[in-house]
Amino acid sequence: MALLSYRSKPHCGGQGVYLRHLSRELAALGHQVEIFSGQPYPELDRPDIVLTKVPSLDLYRDEDPFRNPGLGEYRDWIDVLEYAHMRTGGFPEPLTFSLRVLRELRRRRGDFDVVHDNQVLGLGNLGIPRLGLPLVTSIHHPISVDRRIELEAARGIKERLGKFRWYGFVGMQARVARRIGPVLTVSESSKVDIVKDFRVPARDIEILPLGVDTRIFHPRGERVRGRIVAVASADAPIKGVATLLRAVAKLATERDVHAVVVSKPQRNGPTEKLVRELSLGERVKFVSGISDQEIGELLASAEIAVVPSLYEGFSLPAVEHMASGTPLVASRTGALPEVVGDAAVLVPPGDVEELAATLHRLHDSAQERARVSEAGLRRVQERFAWPTVARATVEHYRAAIEAGKAGHRPSRTEGASPC
């Protein structure tokens, strides 16, 4: 099987995390797995998983974003297209990766039984079934939601136009999603949004939740008093970090608390400016580039965990916090109520006062923290396991392969059963 991912950042962003764990469990089931990925490349857990690098111009590398490549770096017309797209304010990677990977698969069409797209949804994907390769597509949530929230947060017409241009690829993804065949998504909430925003027929979408790696995320003993932890892209408005920082600033006037955010904010960007504006100083720390073991230890050291997002299609961090036994506060939005059930305290998204009051209450109540912690651990044990996810995914692969042999697309009633 070929797994496709245009970028696969190991620790930040769900695509890389999903790819890593799913590929490991598919290989453990005895399947031959090859990953095709652009930069940043994934971290993989087994030597028998093949990584085929499909390099882009890497225009958004952390140390040099929106860079100007040297002439010697251009290899073909796709590179020229990628650079031109970036210079005009767009985000080209889903499109250009799909064109590159289609070229690779055309040369190797006899090597694979099935192709699994990890939310690339580029125009090149439409050529994959024409090669005789069955295709299954994962859409974790439609990026149209991110676009809506970013446009609402934009200040002034210039910034709004810039955001609108950046998210220009969303229209392409919607068109591809409607024509691509079976779609896997992670929650009922995401399914509703895919149907509404991308106009994919509901009958073509199956729900398959994600898992958590309990080898990394589990309780570890003593917790640091007053520590609040979040895993969220700091400068993305959709992740709600600004709401968390403002709530921590309010709570810090009455209690000895501090926040640790697993993220790397933009230098002098909106998050760093807000930290200075709130005079948080030593009350907030951002960490990035740490190992899995260090992330697991950090999450298990927290007194309270927060997922302050304005929207989530699933939220792996929420499940990882619960698996760590950390009492979780999460926004009542998107798929979060569906994912956490009664195993977290839910607050309205973007409500600083309510979040601050909830953190205050949990900080002061060891009994409530223990109750929420125990509920989270139970929920993880009952619902979220990567081996189960992998076995269910294989059934969807088999349905796509059989449908390809029969010359039609699988429906909900044939092949894989609804998950």
pLDDT of residue 193: 97
Please, which pLDDT band fits residue 417 given cuts at 50, 70 and 90?
Answer: very low
For 327-385, what is each residue's pLDDT tens digit?
999 999 999 999 999 999 999 999 999 999 999 999 999 999 999 999 999 999 888 98
pTM, 2 dp? 0.85
Token output for 376: 């989270």
The CA-to-CA distance between both ends of the chain, in Å, stands at 21
Cα–Cα nearest to 287, from 234, 329, 219: 234
How many CB atoms sit inside 10 A of residue 223's CB? 19
Q: Could you tell me the residue ranges of all domains in the chain?
A: 2-211+387-406, 227-383
Please, which pLDDT band fits residue 406 given cuts at 50, 70 and 90?
Answer: confident
Q: What is the DSSP letter of 129?
A: G
Residue 311 has pLDDT above 70, yes or no: yes
Cα 11 to Cα 78, 222, 227, 275, 294, distances in angstroms: 28, 24, 21, 23, 11
Residue 108 has pLDDT above 70, yes or no: yes
Phi, psi for residue 124 in degrees, rounded to 5: -60, -25
pLDDT of residue 12: 62
State the Cα–Cα distance between residues 116 and 195, nearest whole angstrom.
20
Cα 271 to Cα 53, 222, 335, distances in angstroms: 33, 30, 25
Query: Average pLDDT in the 5-31 region?
Result: 89
For 56-90, what is each residue's pLDDT tens digit?
999 999 889 999 999 999 999 999 999 999 999 99
pLDDT of residue 9: 83
Cα–Cα nearest to 186, from 373, 319, 379: 319
The answer to whether the 2-211+387-406 and 227-383 domains have the same CATH topology is: yes
Question: For the chain, what percent of residues have pLDDT higher than 70?
Answer: 96
Query: Average pLDDT in the 94-123 region?
Result: 98
For 196-237, what is each residue's pLDDT tens digit?
999 999 999 999 999 999 999 999 989 999 999 999 998 899
Fold designation for 2-211+387-406 = Rossmann fold (3.40.50)
Please, which pLDDT band fits residue 11 given cuts at 50, 70 and 90?
Answer: low
At which residue do the structure tokens 């962003």 appear? 13
Select the more confidently predicted residue: 26 or 233.
26
State the Cα–Cα distance between residues 87 and 279, nearest whole angstrom.
36
pLDDT of residue 404: 85
Residue 413 has pLDDT above 90, yes or no: no
Token output for 132: 């005789």
Mean pLDDT of the chain: 94
pLDDT of residue 63: 87
State the Cα–Cα distance between residues 169 and 163, nearest whole angstrom.
11
pLDDT of residue 414: 41
Residue 96 has pLDDT above 80, yes or no: yes
Determine the 3-state secondary structure of 369 from DSSP: helix
Q: Quote the distance between the C-alpha of residue 71 and its chain's center.
A: 34
Token output for 374: 């125990």
Residue 146 has pLDDT above 60, yes or no: yes
pLDDT of residue 405: 84
Cα 325 to Cα 212, 263, 298, 308, 379, distances in angstroms: 13, 21, 12, 18, 11
Phi, psi for residue 250 in degrees, rounded to 5: -65, -45
Strands 183-185 and 135-138: parallel
Please, which pLDDT band fits residue 416 given cuts at 50, 70 and 90?
Answer: very low
pLDDT of residue 419: 31
State the Cα–Cα distance between residues 375 and 373, nearest whole angstrom.
5
Please, which pLDDT band fits residue 412 given cuts at 50, 70 and 90?
Answer: very low
Residue 186 has pLDDT above 60, yes or no: yes
Contact assessment for residue 143 and residue 167, using Cβ atoms and an 8 Å cutoff: yes
Kindly state the helix (H) or strand (E) to which residue 329 belongs, with its residue range.
Answer: strand 328-331
Domain 227-383 superfamily per CATH: Glycogen Phosphorylase B; (3.40.50.2000)
Contacts of 175 (CB under 8 A, 6+ apart): none
How many CB atoms sit inside 10 A of residue 269's CB? 11
Please, which pLDDT band fits residue 13 given cuts at 50, 70 and 90?
Answer: low
State the Cα–Cα distance between residues 139 and 167, nearest whole angstrom.
16
Cα 185 to Cα 365, 391, 396, distances in angstroms: 37, 15, 12
Using CA of residue 172, residue 175, residue 179, residue 183, what is the dihedral sign?
A: positive
State the Cα–Cα distance between residues 331 and 307, nearest whole angstrom.
6
pLDDT of residue 411: 43
Contact assessment for residue 260 and residue 228, using Cβ atoms and an 8 Å cutoff: yes
